[in-house]
């Protein structure tokens, strides 16, 4: 290293987003993993689609995962439901939610980076709940297990971001896309040499109860999977009511995918995309986007 490179190394030391992953988070996936049903005919097409995504993670080796998900009642309940909540802890614990899922070992956090993201988001007028203690539910845990199933310890530090999709009113898709854009710039202004992957979990179409329980809209899901790559603003035009009509009462979980997509910026390349239906009551989507250099 020559004398000048000391300075340039310091200048270069900001976090970089390497890509984003949209994935289903349904608890049945966690149960199938616990039962080692990877080759079961019902599950094989679903799990096989994650192989190339895991290979990409193995090659790109992210150091931080920003996980955008919705808490379903483990950490927040209907009595207190923040619109956006950001974890700022050194560790996040999982706990029994009643699905019969084995409780996962704690996930390491990156509290200093969390506070940077919180400050940047607040400066852009996003009013946040900050959580120095936070339990993470299946919306966070199932994707982490899916992406790093064999890791002896979690290979990334995590920053959980909860988005309310449970207690109306929910944040609009347009606001979530904007949240993602600010989040992306915040990540890439964090002065540390981190490689960051952003996860958006949930969806796609599903309705777990009520008159249309079991409702799945495959054409709409495929439309979302296609358009979110290069035209996410088309999806951001929908209202929450539209998403409920087209994708069921839990269909608004798509807003987590929109935050992930917003964080990646304009130039992305689609590396993998998969749709598998039905898993449980849900049209399950998978998308791997690489951020253009």
Residues that bind ligand DHB (CB under 6 A): 25-28, 72, 202, 206, 208, 250, 253, 280-282
Query: What ranges make up the beta strands (E) of the chain?
Result: 16-23, 64-69, 84-87, 91-92, 107-108, 129-131, 157-163, 195-201, 268-279, 282-291
The least CB distance from residue 10 to Fe ion, in Å, is: 42
Report the candidate in 272, 287, 285 with the shortest Cα–Cα distance to residue 217.
Answer: 285
Contact of residue 281 among Fe ion, ligand DHB, none (CB under 5-8 Å per partner type) = ligand DHB
CA 216 to chain centre: 21
Residue number with CB closer to ligand DHB (72 or 178): 72
Positive or negative, the CA dihedral 232, 233, 236, 238 is negative
Question: Interface residues with Fe ion (CB under 5 A)?
Answer: 202
Helix (H) / strand (E) containing 174: helix 173-187
Contact of residue 291 among Fe ion, ligand DHB, none (CB under 5-8 Å per partner type) = none
Residue number with CB closer to ligand DHB (23 or 282): 282
Per-residue b or e along 70-87, where b marks 16 or more CB atoms closer than 10 Å to that residue's CB:
bbbebbbeeeebbbbbbb
**3-class secondary-structure state, position 77:** strand
Positive or negative, the CA dihedral 71, 72, 75, 76 is positive
The least CB distance from residue 278 to ligand DHB, in Å, is: 8
Residue number with CB closer to Fe ion (37 or 280): 280
Active-site residue flag, 138? yes
| Candidates 25, 116, 162, 206; catalytic one | 206
**3-class secondary-structure state, position 289:** strand
Q: How far apart are CA 122 and CA 182, in angstroms?
A: 10
Report CA-CA distances (Å) from 241 to 146, 226, 244: 30, 21, 5
For Fe ion, which residue has the nearest CB? 202
| Candidates 25, 72, 116, 138; catalytic one | 138
What is the chain's Cα-based Rg? 18
The least CB distance from residue 269 to ligand DHB, in Å, is: 27
Largest pairwise CA distance in the chain = 70
Residue number with CB closer to ligand DHB (61 or 212): 212
The least CB distance from residue 97 to ligand DHB, in Å, is: 9
The least CB distance from residue 61 to ligand DHB, in Å, is: 29
Residue number with CB closer to ligand DHB (68 or 121): 68
Contact of residue 28 among Fe ion, ligand DHB, none (CB under 5-8 Å per partner type) = ligand DHB
Residue number with CB closer to Fe ion (158 or 281): 281
The least CB distance from residue 113 to ligand DHB, in Å, is: 27
Would you name the residues annotated as active-site residues? 138, 206
């Amino acid at each position: 290293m020559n004398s000048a490179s000391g300075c340039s190394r310091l200048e270069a030391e900001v976090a970089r987003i390497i890509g984003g992953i949209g994935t289903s988070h349904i608890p049945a996936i966690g149960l199938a993993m616990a039962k080692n049903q990877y080759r079961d005919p019902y599950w094989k097409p679903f799990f096989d689609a994650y192989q190339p995504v895991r290979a990409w993670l193995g090659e790109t080796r992210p150091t931080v995962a920003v996980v955008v998900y919705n808490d379903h009642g483990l950490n927040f309940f209907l009595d207190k439901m923040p619109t956006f909540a950001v974890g700022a802890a050194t560790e996040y614990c999982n706990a029994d939610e009643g699905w019969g899922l084995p409780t996962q070992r704690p996930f390491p956090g990156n509290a200093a980076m969390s506070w940077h993201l919180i400050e940047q988001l607040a400066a852009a007028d996003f009013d946040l709940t900050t959580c120095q203690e936070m339990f993470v539910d299946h919306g966070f845990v199932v994707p982490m297990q899916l992406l790093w199933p064999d890791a002896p310890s979690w290979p990334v530090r995590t920053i959980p971001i909860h988005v309310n999709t449970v207690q109306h009113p929910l944040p609009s898709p347009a606001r979530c896309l904007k949240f993602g854009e600010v989040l992306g710039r915040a990540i890439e202004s964090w002065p540390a040499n981190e490689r960051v992957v952003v996860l958006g979990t949930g969806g796609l179409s599903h309705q777990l109860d009520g008159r249309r329980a079991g409702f799945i809209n495959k054409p709409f899901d495929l439309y979302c999977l296609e358009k979110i790559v290069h035209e996410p603003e088309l999806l951001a035009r929908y209202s929450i009511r539209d998403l409920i009509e087209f994708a069921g009462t839990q269909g608004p979980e798509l807003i987590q995918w929109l935050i992930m997509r917003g964080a990646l910026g304009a130039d992305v390349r689609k590396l993998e995309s998969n749709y598998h239906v039905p898993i449980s009551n849900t049209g399950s989507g998978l998308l791997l986007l690489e951020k253009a250099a």
